């Protein structure tokens, strides 16, 4: 590998990609962009080619992509115009003669029936990359196991139980750092054959399973209550969450209820070289139980 640019290098997923890359290649073969000068200096002091860069700023991307043959585009958050930000990265990659682009997409069952429209952007980004003519690798990641504490209200759920309108919907949760490690292994292999990897856990879990795992780990009798949307919305309003945030959370949960994330593939196990961490062990780590 000549030179790879990792975007989102300061984030959780980017960090675990970089940790794995560093086991095989030196930091001077890795370029990174960050929006913070402090973090840029930190990366630079460790030998990385570090640039100030923002998906909104094409000029900053051009500087970072000079001499780069592969770009890992870590999907942006949804605060800005994410689709335009992704397009900027793809357009600049093409202009700067980058050969391959890898993108962190999402493993969802059917793009045409998604309730959470933010997820549709991942598929639209894939389309845009395909149309660009660049070599591509898509990492379709399942919902991070790491977000479960956030979803269920952290440690309070162990005392008070889990209340979600997710029915019996299931998710093949996987740990974020294992998906990052698997992504890095694929990138190191340089098998640029326009492939899509579906990174998921090897089992499906519902919120009932999450409650059971937390009961076993904590010794408390943790219950999952499948509540209706109106009750859930009322609970979110009591927490003073703004309407758009409530709509977004509800979209996520409804897609889970509809089994959009109930997908099991063996790509993660293959690319890691071992079985992915299961729900109970993952929750043990996350809740420090």
Ligand X SMILES: NC(=O)c1ccc[n+]([C@@H]2O[C@H](COP(=O)([O-])OP(=O)(O)OC[C@H]3O[C@@H](n4cnc5c(N)ncnc54)[C@H](OP(=O)(O)O)[C@@H]3O)[C@@H](O)[C@H]2O)c1
Three-state SS for 234?
Answer: helix
Least Cβ distance, residue 234 to ligand X (angstroms):
25
14 φ/ψ angles, rounded to the nearest 5 degrees: -60, -40
Provide the 3-class DSSP secondary structure of residue 27: helix
CA-nearest of 220, 216, 185, 223 to 279 is 216
CB of 281 to ligand X, least distance (A): 18
Nearer to ligand X, 34 or 254 (CB): 34
Shorter beta-carbon distance to ligand X: residue 106 or 257: 106
Site residues for ligand X per CB under 6 A: 7-14, 34-36, 54-56, 74-77, 80, 85, 104, 106, 141, 143-144, 147, 176
Nearer to ligand X, 9 or 211 (CB): 9
Task: Write the CA distances from 115 to 48, 108, 155, 265, integer angstroms.
Answer: 40, 11, 28, 23
- State the minimum distance, in angstroms, from the CB of residue 209 to ligand X: 17
Query: Which helix (DSSP H) or strand (DSSP E) does residue 41 occupy?
Result: helix 37-45
Minimum distance, C-beta of residue 175 to ligand X, in the bound complex (Å)? 11
Structure token digits, residue 206: 């519902």
**Cβ proximity to ligand X, 183 vs 222, nearer residue:** 183
Choice between 8 and 276, CB closer to ligand X:
8
Question: CA–CA separation, 174 vs 266, rounded Å?
Answer: 12
Question: Which residue in the shown chain puts its C-beta closest to ligand X?
Answer: 11
CA-wise closest residue to 140 among 101, 112, 103:
103
**CB closer to ligand X, 55 vs 192:** 55
Q: Output 106 or 170, the one with its CB closest to ligand X.
A: 106
**Two structure tokens written together for 61:** 């991307």
Supply the minimum distance, in Å, between the C-beta of residue 149 and ligand X.
Answer: 13
Q: Least distance to ligand X from the beta carbon of 121, Å?
A: 9
Query: Distance (Å, rounded) from C-alpha 209 to C-alpha 118?
Result: 27
DSSP per-residue codes, 224-284: EEE--HHHHHHHHHHTT--HHHHHHHHHHHHHHHTTTT----SHHHHHHTSPPP-HHHHHH
Look up residue 94 and give its two tokens.
């093409």
Beta bridge partners, 5, equal: 31, 71
Q: How far is the CB of 23 from ligand X (least distance, A)?
A: 19
* Contact indicator for 157, 125 with CB cutoff of 8 Å: no
CA–CA dist 16, 180 (Å, integer)? 5
Tokens at 151, concatenated = 């979803």
CB of 164 to ligand X, least distance (A): 16
95 or 237: CB nearest ligand X: 95
């Amino acid at each position: 590998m000549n030179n790879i640019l990792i975007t989102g290098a300061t984030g959780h997923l980017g960090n675990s990609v970089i940790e794995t890359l560093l086991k095989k290649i030196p930091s001077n073969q890795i370029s990174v962009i960050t929006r913070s000068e402090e973090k840029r200096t930190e990366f630079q002091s460790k030998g990385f080619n570090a640039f100030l860069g923002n998906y909104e700023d094409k000029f900053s991307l051009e500087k970072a992509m000079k001499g780069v043959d592969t770009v890992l585009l870590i999907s942006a958050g949804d605060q800005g115009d994410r689709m335009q930000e992704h397009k900027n990265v793809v357009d600049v990659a093409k202009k700067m003669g980058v050969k391959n682009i890898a993108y962190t997409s999402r493993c969802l069952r059917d793009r045409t029936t998604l309730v959470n429209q933010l997820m549709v952007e991942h598929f639209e980004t894939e389309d845009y990359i395909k149309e660009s003519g660049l070599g591509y690798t898509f990492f379709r990641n399942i919902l991070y196991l790491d977000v479960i504490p956030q979803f269920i209200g952290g440690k309070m759920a162990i005392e008070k139980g889990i209340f979600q309108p997710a029915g019996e919907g299931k998710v093949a949760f996987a740990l974020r750092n294992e998906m990052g490690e698997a992504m890095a292994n694929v990138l190191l292999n340089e098998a640029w054959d326009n492939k899509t990897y579906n990174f998921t856990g090897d089992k499906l879990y519902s919120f009932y399973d999450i409650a059971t795992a937390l009961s076993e780990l904590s010794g408390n009798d943790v219950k999952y209550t499948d509540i209706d949307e109106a009750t859930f919305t009322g609970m979110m309003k009591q927490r003073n969450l703004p309407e758009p945030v409530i709509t977004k959370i509800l979209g996520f949960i409804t897609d889970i209820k509809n089994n959009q994330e109930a997908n099991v593939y063996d790509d993660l196990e293959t690319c890691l070289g071992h079985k992915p961490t299961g729900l109970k062990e993952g929750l043990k780590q996350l809740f420090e139980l």
